[in-house]
Amino acid sequence: MDFNEFSFRVRYGETDQMGVVYHGNYAQYLEMGRVEWLRSMGISYKKMEENGIMLPVISLNILFKKSAVYDDLLTVTTYIRKRPMVRIEFDYEIRNEAKELLIEANTVLAFMDMKSNKPIKCPDYILDKLDI
């Protein structure tokens, strides 16, 4: 199973007046997880786009367990459990500093050719780096 972890602090602007993280911000946290997962494998999302490949989200599911609050140190763990083809699927957990599970999530993205706007196979340079 390939996974990556990274941590960051919740910023004030990501919360409501009660200091609770607005639910829409979790999608951005998941995106940060995906980008850091790619970076940990030596793959730049920016270079992938420069090479004409984009990865739009086609499915997003989040199961909220507990709220994150202002100044929490959050850890996003991003997993990939199956070999990508045209689609790549990520699972996530976000935990606070006390290791409490805040959310479980899943996203599915499709590899797309930016010129033709058509789905394509996962690039070999990604497949070659996977242990699954």
Active-site annotation, residues: 16
Closest CA to 77 of 108, 55, 99: 99
Q: Which regions of 10-122 does DSSP assign to beta strands (E)?
A: 53-54, 57-64, 73-80, 87-95, 101-110, 112-113, 118-119
- Interstrand relation of 73-80 and 57-64 (parallel, antiparallel or unpaired): unpaired
Tokens at residue 44, please?
């730049």
